[in-house]
Each structure stands twice: as C-alpha cells, then as structure tokens.
Amino acid sequence: MFKLTVYDRESITPLRSLATNTGSIVAALFVISIVFLLCGVNPLYAIGKIFSGSFGSMYGFKETVTKAIPLILTGGGLALAFRAKFWNIGAEGQILMGALMGTWVGLAWGAVLPSFVLITLMFLAGFIGGALLGLIPALLKIKFSINEVISTLMLNYICAELITMLIVGPWKGSTRFGFPGTNNLADAALLDVIPGSRIHYVTLILAIIAVLILSVIVYRTRFGYEVRVIGENPEAGKYAGIDFFRTTLVIMLVSGGLAGVAGVGELAGIHHYLGYPASISSGYGFTAIIVAWLAKLNPMYVLVSAMFFAGIIVGGDAIQISLGLPGATVQIVNGILLIFLIMGDYFLKHKVVVSFSNNPS
Amino acid sequence: MRKTKTLEMVNISKSFQGKFANQGINFNISSGEILGLLGENGAGKTTLMNILYGLYQPDSGEIIINGHKVKITSPKDSIHHGIGMVHQHFMLIQNHSVIENIALGYDKTPFFFPKIRIRDKVVEFSKKFNFAIDPYKKVWQLSAGEQQRVEIIKALLNGADLLILDEPTSVLTPQEIKELFRILNDMKAQGHMVILISHKLDEIVDICDRVTVLQKGKIAGHANTAGMDKRSLARMMIGRDVLFNVNREPLPKGERVLKVSNLHVLSDKGIPSVKDVSFDVFANEIFGIAGVAGNGQKELAEAITGIRHIKSGTVFAGKKDITNMSPRRIYDHGVSHVPEERIKFGIAPGLFLYDNAILKQHHLEKFSKKMFLEYGRIKNHTRDLVDSYNVAAHSIDVQIRNLSGGNIQKLILGREISEKPSLLVASHPTYGLDVGATEYLREQLLTRRREGGAVLLFSEDLDEIFELCDRIAVMFQGEFTGILDSSESEKLADIGLMMAGSVRY
C-alpha cells in the first residue's frame, strides 16, 4: 500500500514555475507522440515539423505572427476575466460579434469616410459589439446566478448562426455569384499589411498596447487590485466592500471588447469580407483560453504564449500538408497541452509526497 | 436482542497539530441508558464522537465493547459494532425520497427493486417507534424534525444499538424536540443506548440519565442528572467560578460610538436570526457579546459591518446612520472589522502580504492616487504594520497563505486598528491561536480601549470576555438574554444559564 500526501507549497519561485510549465509541455508532447504513432507517423518528425513549419522559415514566422494577433488580444482579455474567476468561454462569439459590427460599419460608410476615420470607427464598433455580448453573461450571472460557462458557451453558437443567417440572407453580396458572404469591404476599410506577409500591423500594435495597458491595470490600479482580490477570495472581496456588480461588468466589457477588436482585425486585415463564421475565426476564442492559461493569467506573458500557440496552429497546417494528417490534429494537440498545463498548475501549487507503508489497512 | 450492551472509552487522547482536542477521556455507557455529553464549543465533544464513529483515529486509548477491546478504523467498522450516528447536518439527498435515502445507506439493500423490498422493513421500524413518515415523500418536502427521524431510521435499520446524536435539537422546533425525546425514551425502554451531544443544559437535565462534562478537551466531571441542579452543571461546564481580571483600569465612559436599535436580521436560509436587538457602545469601552455559536452573533456582526442586509432597525456610528451601507463606506465612517474565520473572510490567501495589508483601505488617498496604487507607500505601511504588530514574516513579498494563523490575525488586527477607528468589531479574534498570540491580541484590544477607541467583541471564550469586557451581553436564539456590567458579579455567575436561555436579566 502507498499513500499520497498533499502539502501546500510554501512559495513558488519563478524558476519552479518555468520548470513546471516546461515539464507539463514535455509530458504533453509525450502523449501527443502516442497520438502521432497511432496515426502511423514518426512523432519526432511530426513534432519537429510543427516547430520548423512555424518558426523555422521566414514565411512560417510571418504566418505565426499573423495568427498571434487575435490570440494576443483575446488571450489578454481572457486573462483579466479568468483572474476574477469569471470563466468566459465565449470569446469565439465575441470575436464574431466584433467582425459583424465591423462589417456593418465598413459596408455602410465604406464609400464616404476617409480610411483613418472609417477604420477607427470599425474598431470601435467591434469593441462595442464584443463588449455588449460579454455583458449578457455578466448580467445573467450577477442578477440570476446563471453559470457563465454555459451562457458564454451557448452565445458562441448564437453568434455563429446569426452571421450565417446574415450572409445567406440580407447581407448576401451581389458580387458573390450566389455564394454566401458579403461583398468585399471598400479599400478604405482594409488594413495595411507588412509587405510580403499577411501581418496587419495596426491590429498587432493595438494588441501589444492592449496587453501593456492590461498589465498596468491588473498590477498597478485599484481596479486591478479589486479583480485580484475577488479572484483569490470572493468572501474577502465582500468583506472589503468591493462592488461585484461593477467589477464584473467592467471585466466582461474589456474581455469581450478586446475579442471584438480581434474580430475586426481578422475581417479587415485578412478576409476583407464577412464569410462563414468558421472561416472568420477558426477557434481563436478557444485557443485563447489556453493562451491565457499558459501565461499564468499575466497579460505580459500572453505575448509569449500567443506566439507559441500561433506557432502550433501554423505548424499544424504544415503537418496537414506534408504528412497528410487530418485538420483535427491541431485541436488534439491544443487540448492535450491545455490538460497538462492545468495539471501542472496543481503540482506547482501543491507538493505531493508518496509514502509506502507496510501495514495495509 | 441487542448485540452491543456496554461501551467504554478508556483514556482517549487526540491532538491536532500539537494541540489536544481530547486528553485522557474516560466514559462508559450501558444498555438502556441515555448519556449526555456536555461542553462549550471546542470542548472536544464532536472530536470524541468522531473517534467513536471511526472518522478519526485516537492517538492513544482504547474502545471496549461488551468487555472486549475493539479497533474502529472506519464508519463501516462502527456500524458493524452497532454504533450509529446522526450528524448535526443531515446526510440526506434532498431530491430523493425517504425510502431511496434509506436504501442508499442500508447495508443489505438488494440490488434489484431495492425500494419494494425494503419498504416493509421501513414501515415496521416506523411503527415500532411511532414515526409518522411517508416513505415516498421527497426529503426536501420534510421538516427538519422529519429528516432527523429518517436519519434515525437509517441508523436503526443498520442495527445500531448505540445511537450518537450530535446537537440534535439545534434545528428543531419545541414540538419536534418533545417528539424526539419521546422517541429517545422509547428506544431507551427497548434497551438501546443513546449519547446526546449538547451544550443546552435544560435538555441534558430533561432527558439524560447521566452526564459527562467536557472542558477544553478534558473531562470536567461526571454526574447523575437526577437531583442535579443546573447552576452547578453550568459551573462544571465553564470550569470555575467567575473570576475577574484586575489589569483593566477603570476608564470614564466616553461618548457613544455605536447605537443599534431594534435590529432584525435574517440568516442565509432566510430565518430570523437577530431579533429586535438594541444596544449602545461607548468610547473607552469593550463591549462583549457572549453566547454559544449559532445564536445570531455572526449575523449581528455582519449586519453592523455592512456585509449582511438589515431587514429592519437602525445602526448609527456616532451620529451617522450606517444602516445597510456598503462595507467600504461603513469602514470610512470609522467602523473596522476583524472577521471570524480569518482565512475565509479576512485575506486573499494567494496575494502578497502587502496586498493584504491594505484590503479595505486601498481606496484611501494614502495608498492610491486617482486610480493607481502607490506601491512604495503600501510597502512602507506594510513594514510598519509587520514591525508594530509583531508579525513574524521573513519578507513582505510572500503570499500571505504562508503565514501561521496567529501572524495572519496579527496583520489583520493591525490593518484594522492602525487607522484608529472609533469602533472595532472583533469576531472571535483569538479563536484557535496559541497562548502567546492570544495574549498579544488581547493586550492590543485593551490598548485600543485606553486610547479612546471602542471594541465590540464577539467571543465564545468566557475567559476572554471576563478579562476584557466592561459590559457583557449574552446572546441566545437571536436575542439578548441580558446586558450586564462587569461589576455585577452575582448575576454574571449565571452566565452559563443565560447562554442556555434559562435565565434572563
């Protein structure tokens, strides 16, 4: 017989944190290898291909940065929400809502407004769209104690279907030969890219500014302090007279709004028209959950973890092409990584000691 | 035929983290007896019964059943030995019917059609003890008394000859208590043994044959209840005659800092738990509220400090009406609060020491300009607190969860009194602390009194109440059974009875 005893760790050094995360990722890669083996692929080759495909070439790297943009914005916002233990699983829908609002502004005023004003308005509309969508589960939670995991998750489907309805119905473009999708946005509504890449740098700059501001908010302001207290111990928040209503609303406005901005970036920087929801955001809202988690909910670290997961997305595309693996492989890789990171978190906070005893009871 | 006829616990000791919860406990019970286990909260009653029920292992000592030494390592063992326990909080599944709950807890429930096949047994037991219960009703539809009877049937069905009831009357109405006692007397007549855990003197005297009194983990005495007078029982429970501390120099009453009038407050479950309470607290005074836990003290403290909604009545801090203000605004009006269960309410465990040092104060000018926190000043303030309140921490850059309970409490107290509030509400401030930390905290409360502050002290520890307080209110079932001055020693001798609601002044 053996016995497991769990202790709380006295203190967590940055080194231990780094070591635990690295260990989790290595363990996850081990399990991922088993998946590759079952697919009949040499795991070392496949994993190597993922990283060489994303970071190993200039083209790959540029694609990785492109895919990191929505992940930085969304992951930063989620890091804030998760800090207050508000489990926003609805970033995917909030991205779509942002794209929808951006499309609306772009189509309506594309011909009349100068580019700078138009794009500013589109980002603003996207922020508002995502923010309002984020507000719904926040209000439901505070007023009626409805679990936010369910409401945010379900709103994702509502948004996706809303977009589908618009692009096959009222917003269907005259230049699409009957295929679903809006017309292309006017040139004034499109974002510039760094030549030779798809990096829409305006959104990238916005994303970097956003995580910088977020980390100031979280660590340096009264509001951030209140968020941290609520997340650590809601009872203490109540005792200290922190206004849950206001705090939760602001958190979800920011979290949803940033996802909305990411949606506008995808729309105006990459796609240039509103098409099927799955093409506008291919699961960025969900990947961003892992991004925020790997960053230990620190907005600055989101920059790094977003690059890491963007790399996996791009590398996943590479192994699909070169090894003929199904598209779902990347989802599996992401899922396994998340599970191991969460487990690693447990071992970071607790010390588990195995002891063997001679008298079985 | 009862298989377990006598039970004896010999020299039982159990300690948690070096502190004795039970020390050298002896008692015995035999067939057809009801034994009362009396003691204040924290006296070790529940620990002792959990040892008997197999939930804890004693550090030393033995359990003897029918003259043979036995080892009880799990509730399964204890059920096997004919011991059944009815916990204070019922272990029933609310959405299931009575019979389903019983089937779930019954050892010999058949795999197929369990409900049909044990129905007869349930009905038989209900008849035997006159339990009026519909076995097909859902548990949530039952009153507390009926749920308790379901628990009793569960225990009896498993062949319990010895039934342990933990504070069985705390959730019952007076009629239900009568009914319970009738059932217990029936069981006694049929040769069962019953151990009743309680801190209510009246009940013990009413129903028990013998009583064992625990005090601070040790046996304070055994007695037959026949002819026993309540006053001597109360004295046995409290441990001594009431003594007064003389270190507290007399101070003239200052101005009124708190006025509570006709306060009504509901508990979490919506039951009235503070009923029409009125009192004043003055500067230079420590006002103590004594009583057994669960008589509305928690709700009263939360209502005054803004955490709990006040249904009716008013609270004034000085001349300012603070009824139903937010905790932060009440703090700004000079009422600070050391909450009970310090880890649960008083700190954010994963945040640093300096973050926790400004909980409730982070919005003050001192610590933040506009919306930005001034960490330089916050850290200086934390270092001051750590120094002046003797908080043992090797750094202020550690998560506060790493500190011991005593040091966390010192930091909380320092935080709450460093701004010199006109009133400090302190709930069980020394609960669970070691002697050194306790003495230190008490000294700080007296210092506050000397400096012209007022303290509203909630405590179950009568030593503490007598040592510190100028006036003492006793709370019982949401009401004050009296407010006494510390000079009224002959009345204070009855404080045990006041806590049990049998005497009012």
Element (H, E) at B450: helix B435-450
Contact criterion met (CB < 8 Å) for A241 and B350: no
Contact criterion met (CB < 8 Å) for B327 and A8: no
Interface size, chain A vs chain B, as Cβ–Cβ contacts under 8 Å: 74
Q: What is the pLDDT of residue B158?
A: 84
Residue A125 domain-assigned (yes or no): yes
CA distance B296 to chain A (A): 18
Percent of chain B beyond pLDDT 90?
32
Q: What is the pLDDT of residue B4?
A: 83
* Beta-strand pair B68-70/B60-65: antiparallel
- Asked if B3 reaches chain A (Cβ–Cβ under 8 Å), the answer is no
pLDDT per position as a tens digit, A242-279: 999 999 999 999 999 999 999 999 999 999 999 999 99
Q: What is the pLDDT of residue A134?
A: 96
Interface mutation target, options B335, B372, B395, chain A, most CBs of A under 10 Å: B372
Provide the residue range defining the domain that includes A165.
68-299
Residue A271 domain-assigned (yes or no): yes
- Asked if B489 reaches chain A (Cβ–Cβ under 8 Å), the answer is no
Topology alike, domains B6-238 and B256-499: yes
The number of residues making up chain B comes to 505
Cα–Cα distances (Å) from A168 to A110, A176, A177, A179, B264, in that order, read: 21, 11, 12, 8, 61
How far apart CA A122 and CA A117 sit, in angstroms, is: 9
Classify domain B6-238 at the CATH superfamily level.
Answer: P-loop containing nucleotide triphosphate hydrolases (3.40.50.300)
Q: What is the pLDDT of residue A358?
A: 56
Closest-CA residue to A151 (of A57, A76, A252): A252
Contacts of A236 in chain B (CB under 8 A): 345-348, 359
Neighbours of A51 (CB within 10 A): 16
Could you tell me if A105 and A186 are in contact, meaning their C-beta atoms sit under 8 angstroms apart?
Answer: no
Phi/psi class of residue B32: alpha, beta or left (left: φ > 0; alpha: ψ in -120 to 50)?
left
Domain count along chain A: 1
Task: Report the mean per-residue pLDDT for chain A.
Answer: 91
How far apart CA B36 and CA B354 sit, in angstroms, is: 48
What's the mean pLDDT in B136-159? 85
- Asked if A10 reaches chain B (Cβ–Cβ under 8 Å), the answer is yes
Amino acid at A132: L
Percent of chain A beyond pLDDT 90?
70
pTM, whole model, 2 decimals? 0.77
Identity of the residue in B306, B345, B371 whose CB atom sits nearest the CB atom of A235: B345
Q: What is the pLDDT of residue A209?
A: 97
Place of tokens 């159990």: B14
In degrees and rounded to multiples of 5, residue B160 shows phi and psi of -70, 125
Please say if the pLDDT value at position A357 is more than 70.
Answer: no
- Asked if B377 reaches chain A (Cβ–Cβ under 8 Å), the answer is no
pLDDT per position as a tens digit, A180-195: 999 999 999 999 999 9
Identity of the residue in B306, B373, B402 whose CB atom sits nearest the CB atom of A225: B373
Q: What is the pLDDT of residue B5?
A: 87
Beta carbons within 8 Å of B185's beta carbon, 6+ residues apart: B207
Please say if the pLDDT value at position A103 is more than 60.
Answer: yes
Could you tell me if B85 and B49 are in contact, meaning their C-beta atoms sit under 8 angstroms apart?
Answer: yes
- Label residue B247 by pLDDT band (50, 70, 90): low
How far apart CA A44 and CA A32 sit, in angstroms, is: 10
Q: Which CATH number fits domain B256-499: 3.40.50.300, 1.10.630.10, 1.25.40.20, 3.30.429.10?
A: 3.40.50.300
Residue A58 domain-assigned (yes or no): no
Q: What is the pLDDT of residue A361?
A: 40
How far apart CA B8 and CA B2 sit, in angstroms, is: 16
Contacts of A238 in chain B (CB under 8 A): 307, 327, 345
What's the mean pLDDT in B440-466? 89
Let me know the angle formed at the C-alpha of A149 by A144 and A155, rounded to the nearest 5 degrees. 85
Q: What is the ipTM of this complex?
A: 0.81
Query: Could you tell me where the DSSP H helices lie in chain A?
Result: 14-38, 43-55, 58-83, 91-109, 115-144, 148-168, 201-220, 222-232, 234-239, 244-266, 277-280, 284-294, 299-323, 328-349
Query: Could you tell me where the DSSP H helices lie in B129-216?
Result: 144-157, 174-189, 201-207
In chain B, where the domains are located: 6-238, 256-499
CA distance A76 to chain B (A): 20
- Label residue B422 by pLDDT band (50, 70, 90): very high
How far apart CA B321 and CA B307 sit, in angstroms, is: 16
Least confident of A253-267, A281-295, A336-350, B324-338: A336-350
Contacts of B306 in chain A (CB under 8 A): 241
Identity of the residue in A11, A222, A361 whose CB atom sits nearest the CB atom of B368: A222
What's the mean pLDDT in B34-50? 83
Place of tokens 């492109």: A66
Q: What is the pLDDT of residue B135?
A: 83
How far apart CA B421 and CA B178 sit, in angstroms, is: 48
Closest-CA residue to B168 (of B138, B134, B133, B206): B206
Please say if the pLDDT value at position A119 is more than 90.
Answer: yes
Query: Which of A174-178, A204-208, B147-151, B327-331 holds the top average pLDDT?
Result: A204-208
Percent of chain B beyond pLDDT 70?
96
Amino acid at A103: T
Q: What is the pLDDT of residue A15?
A: 85
What's the mean pLDDT in A349-359? 73
Please say if the pLDDT value at position B243 is more than 60.
Answer: no
Q: What is the pLDDT of residue B120?
A: 82
- Asked if B330 reaches chain A (Cβ–Cβ under 8 Å), the answer is yes
Beta carbons within 8 Å of B443's beta carbon, 6+ residues apart: none
The number of residues making up chain A comes to 361
Contact criterion met (CB < 8 Å) for B330 and A241: yes
Please say if the pLDDT value at position A104 is more than 90.
Answer: yes
Could you tell me if B77 and B54 are in contact, meaning their C-beta atoms sit under 8 angstroms apart?
Answer: yes
Please give the structure tokens belonging to residue A117.
């004003």
Query: Which of A330-334, B22-26, B103-107 holds the top average pLDDT?
Result: B22-26
Q: What is the pLDDT of residue B106?
A: 79
Identity of the residue in B306, B348, B372 whose CB atom sits nearest the CB atom of A229: B348
